[in-house]
Amino acid sequence: MPSSAPAGASTEEEDAVVAAGAIATSSAAPDAGDPEPQRNKGRRRRKKRRPRAPTEEEVAARRLVLRWACPGREVVAADDGQAAGAGRARVRRPRVAVELHAHSARSDGTLSPAELVERAHRNGVKVLALTDHDTMAGVPEAVEAAKRHPIRIIPGVEISAVHSPSDESGSGAEEPVHILAYYGSWGPARPQELEMFLAGIREGRYARANEMLLKLGGLGMPMKLEDVCKIAGNGVAPGRLHVARAMVHAGFVEDLRQAFSRYLYDGGPAYATGSEPTGESVVQLVCRTGGVTVLAHPWALKNPGAVIKNLKAAGLHGIEVYRSDGKVSGTVSSTGLSDLADTYELLKLGGSDFHGRDDKEEPDVGSVDLPVLSVFKFLEIAKPIWHNAIKEIFASISKRTTDLNGSNGFRRISSAGDFCVLRLSCEDPELTGASEVEVLRTEVADIVLTHQ
Ligand SMILES: [Zn+2]
Ligand SMILES: [Zn+2]
């Protein structure tokens, strides 16, 4: 999570609690075509600006994004401020509520995946990426909940990693980085490989929590790992936020903010690092498994330029630039981040990083006003990657089908067409349209042929 933690910026999810109240002023969001991404009520009166008319490019992009977000639903025109028959000069910038960064109770959020989907839907979100820390365990529940609402789920995950400065930069210490991964609706191409990787990180979190507790014990605040795990919830790998909650619960600190500002901040007296992989290895893994990689909250990094350069070399696709208040804290302004994104030809994305804390200052799910052109560019990059992942999934399954054919119950799947029909009819694959299904059928036919 974004932060301006007391002892230097931090990227951990947990210091959201520190960050929420400590937003440094900075320039507004960067995109030239995005005049008012901020919803910072109160402090400064928003300048009244005449909304400019959307460009043709924006209108077209919005249409395409909506078609993807709500396949088969002709809500597009009704929902469109620029609908041709509107008659009035009702000029609105094209928007589609897309939330690309949100957590559920499957990591350190408070809402269940289903509750998160409900809330996102209530807030007008049309596309929601569930990005729990180091786990995709909440995705099936979110997808199930989304069937009751016109909302598309992007299976995602926010992966914990570290950046070690390379010898050329030489400056600064290791720092944590979080990398968001976005998969297509069929999930990662090699789910086992990804899951093993994530499981390794989750195990490291238990060791890390233990180390933090040892340090806190040495500081006169004895607590048990089982208490922290109880707070984290069933099967949820504990993080700093859970340790902080345990500290509040035990009465060692007044609130979460104090737990972080006194003990748990990066490099603090009770801070411990986990056994996280390098950022580069995470980016490579996500690319290998058919996902899109985006660096989370780079404004919280001490050395964003070096991190972004290294990760780009590993295959990074984008960075977060937008946040709900249109401002950034930390070492670099949003304009600076936008420039970095331009330099390295990276997508400019963002999300609320919603955790469902009991904190009025926390941005709500869906509160980031992501320009529709950013979403469009994201899809341009993502779709071929996701389609390739689907091809790989098909290839893997059809290979197994071929292997099994003749031995037992797979006889009924005798051709790629049958396989597709079976798969497409039972899985509600959320593909964008009939033509894509057709293309897929052809591709799968190719795959199956080459495997026979
Ligand atoms: Zn994070
Ligand atoms: Zn996050």
**How many angstroms separate the alpha carbon of residue 355 from the centre of ligand 1?**
10
Chain length of the chain: 452
Residue 335 tokens read as 């304009």
**How many angstroms separate the alpha carbon of residue 9 from the centre of ligand 2?**
15
132: number of Cβ within 10 Å: 26
**How many angstroms separate the alpha carbon of residue 257 from the centre of ligand 1?**
17
Instruction: Describe the crossing of helices 372-404 and 416-427 by its angle, rounded to 10 degrees.
Output: 130
**How many angstroms separate the alpha carbon of residue 354 from the centre of ligand 2?**
7
pLDDT of residue 153: 96
* Cβ-based neighbours of 97, under 8 Å, separated by 6 or more: 123, 124, 125, 126, 127, 366
What type of residue is 140?
P
pLDDT of residue 218: 96
**How many angstroms separate the alpha carbon of residue 215 from the centre of ligand 1?**
23
**How many angstroms separate the alpha carbon of residue 329 from the centre of ligand 1?**
14
Angle among Cα 314, 343, 292 to the nearest 5 degrees reads 40
Q: What share of the chain is helix, strand, coil (3-state, %, to 5)?
A: 45, 10, 45
Write out pLDDT tens, residues 370-391: 999 999 999 999 999 999 998 8
Helical H segments across 362-415, by residue range:
372-404
Name the stretches of the chain with pLDDT < 70. Answer: 1-51, 72-95, 166-173, 324-332, 334, 399-452
pLDDT of residue 172: 55
**How many angstroms separate the alpha carbon of residue 11 from the centre of ligand 1?**
6
Parallel, antiparallel or unpaired: strands 127-130 and 152-163: parallel
Q: Which ligand is nearest to the CA of 297?
A: 1
**How many angstroms separate the alpha carbon of residue 333 from the centre of ligand 1?**
18
CB burial of 178-191 (b: ≥16 within 10 Å; e: otherwise) equals bbbbbbbbbbbbbb
**How many angstroms separate the alpha carbon of residue 297 from the centre of ligand 1?**
7
**How many angstroms separate the alpha carbon of residue 37 from the centre of ligand 1?**
21
Q: Which ligand is nearest to the CA of 108?
A: 2
DSSP assignment of 212-261 equals HHHHHHHTT----HHHHHHHH-TTPPP-HHHHHHHHHHHTSSSSHHHHII
423: number of Cβ within 10 Å: 18
Is 198 in contact with 157 (CB distance < 8 Å)?
yes
Q: Is 26 helix (H, G, I), strand (E, B) or coil?
A: coil
* Residues whose Cβ atom is located within 5 A of ion ligand 1: 1, 13, 178, 296
pLDDT of residue 422: 47
DSSP assignment of 61-121 equals HHHHHHHHHSTT-THHHHT-TT-GGG-S---------EEEEE--TTTT-SS-HHHHHHHHH
**How many angstroms separate the alpha carbon of residue 280 from the centre of ligand 1?**
16
* Residues whose Cβ atom is located within 5 A of ion ligand 2: 13, 158, 353
**How many angstroms separate the alpha carbon of residue 388 from the centre of ligand 1?**
28
Is 11 in contact with 240 (CB distance < 8 Å)?
no
**How many angstroms separate the alpha carbon of residue 56 from the centre of ligand 2?**
34
pLDDT of residue 232: 87
Write out pLDDT tens, residues 117-148: 999 999 999 999 999 999 999 999 999 999 99
Write out pLDDT tens, residues 281-332: 999 999 999 999 999 999 989 889 999 999 999 999 999 999 866 665 455 6
**How many angstroms separate the alpha carbon of residue 13 from the centre of ligand 2?**
5
Angle among Cα 103, 149, 233 to the nearest 5 degrees reads 30
Q: Of 129, 126, 125, 97, which Cα lies nearest the Cα of 113?
A: 129
**How many angstroms separate the alpha carbon of residue 79 from the centre of ligand 2?**
30
**How many angstroms separate the alpha carbon of residue 72 from the centre of ligand 2?**
31
**How many angstroms separate the alpha carbon of residue 295 from the centre of ligand 2?**
11
**How many angstroms separate the alpha carbon of residue 424 from the centre of ligand 2?**
32
**How many angstroms separate the alpha carbon of residue 414 from the centre of ligand 1?**
46
**How many angstroms separate the alpha carbon of residue 229 from the centre of ligand 2?**
20
**How many angstroms separate the alpha carbon of residue 272 from the centre of ligand 1?**
16
Distance CA(413)–CA(115), nearest Å, equals: 38
pLDDT of residue 441: 60
